[in-house]
Amino acid sequence: MSTAPNLLSVVDLDKSYGGVHAVRGVSFALKAGEILALIGPNGAGKSTCFDMLNGQTTPSAGRINLLGQDTTYKKPREIWRLGVGRTFQITATFPTMTVRENIQVALASYGRRLFNFWASMPRLAQQEARDLLERVGMAGYAERPCGELAYGDLKRLELAIALANQPKLLLMDEPTAGMAPRERIELMRLTASIAREKSIGVLFTEHDMDVVFEHADRILVLNRGTLIAEGSPQDVRRNPEVRAIYLGEGLVYDARHREGQSA
């Protein structure tokens, strides 16, 4: 994995809103198939980082390179065209359509067929849509109105939508926020298995340390806009600075300890 080229590389990213310096000189890289977590306390600058990667905010300084292209000032939909799927902290789907139609719209957009005024959309790309739903375990929900889904299912639908453009990179902003503990683990396992299988890079932010330490290959820790630690879950867990400002001195998640308990 270390010899693989970088999928995403971020150099000296900076963002100020008026007097607030939200992100200061953040640099990191992400390789294909790697699952990278971006963590930090509230207000650390995680969302701002995400918005910049995604094209929703333009950085004050620094560069973003995605799949060999400079995307620093690109729009969200241009970045999507390059092969980036994304899910939102608060799910964004199309509530007046069925689950299958949600996927079909994304597929039609990927196939550049949106300016087709004549074809019947419900009949387009049915098989591909079914495959994607199958992949996230929602095949049985295809004809349900999306507005009726439970929150955990919406999250999985969002994942399926994000996979419609056969992405090389997934950007997931708090993928498990608002879910029950067991559902969280399930969703992240699913994401991780898809990422490994298709060698998709994943960058996600998360507050649930169980999820982070179980699934991330590498962790970036942000505090007050600055990257204060970077490394494997073990390294980050042992880092005294991270402990002091973020994880706290008390109960610290330990994978071996947990495995011992559940065994």
Partner 1 sequence: MAFYVVQFLTGLASAASLFLVASGLSIIFGVTRIVNFAHGAFYMLGAYVAFTLTERFSGAIGFWGGVVAAALIVAALGVLVEMVLLRRIYHAPELFQLLATFGLTLMVEDLVVLIWGPSDLLGRRAPGFKGAVDFFGQNVPSYDLFLIGLGPVVLGALWLIFQRTRWGVLVRAATQDRDMVAALGVNQKWLFTSVFALGVFLAAVGGALQIPRDAVHHAMDLRIIVDVFVVVVIGGLGSIIGAFVAAVLVSELNAFGILIFPKISIILLFLVMAAVLIVRPWGLFGKPEVTARRTPGLTVNPWRPLSSKGRLAAVTALLLAATLPLFAGNYALTVGSEIAIFVIFAASLHFMMSVGGLASFGHAAYFGLGAYGVAFLAKMAGLPMITCLLLGPALALAGAALFGFFAVQLSGVYFAMLTLAFAQIVWSIAFQWVEVTGGDNGILGVWPEKWAASPSHFYWLAIGVAALAVAVLRNIVFSPFGYALRATRDSPRRSDAIGIDGKLIQWTAFVIAGTFAGIAGALFAYLKGSVFPDSLGISLSVDALVMVLLGGVETVSGAVVGAIVYKALSIFLVSQTDLSKLILGGVIVLVVIALPKGIVGVLETIRQRRRPRPEPPLLASRIGTAE
Q: Residues interacting with partner 1, by CB under 8 A?
A: 54, 76-77, 80-81, 86, 88, 92-98, 101, 104-106, 108-110, 113-122, 124, 140-141, 144-145, 147-148, 150, 152-153, 161-162, 164-165, 180, 182-183
Structure tokens at 31: 């390789």
Cβ nearer to partner 1, comparing 5 with 95 = 95
DSSP state of 160: H
Query: What are the b/e assignments for 15-41, b being 16+ CB within 10 Å?
Result: beeeeebbbbebebbbbbbbbbbbbbe
Q: How far is the CB of 252 from partner 1 (least distance, A)?
A: 27
Q: How far is the CB of 161 from partner 1 (least distance, A)?
A: 6
Nearest to 34 by CA among 228, 181, 184, 220: 220
User: Cα(247)–Cα(263) distance, rounded to whole angstroms?
Assistant: 25
Q: How far is the CB of 66 from partner 1 (least distance, A)?
A: 15
Q: How far is the CB of 171 from partner 1 (least distance, A)?
A: 9
Nearest to 217 by CA among 192, 239, 253, 242: 192
Cβ nearer to partner 1, comparing 115 with 240 = 115
Cβ nearer to partner 1, comparing 36 with 172 = 172
Nearest to 48 by CA among 78, 65, 11, 23: 23
Cβ nearer to partner 1, comparing 163 with 195 = 163
Q: How far is the CB of 208 from partner 1 (least distance, A)?
A: 16
Cβ nearer to partner 1, comparing 108 with 242 = 108
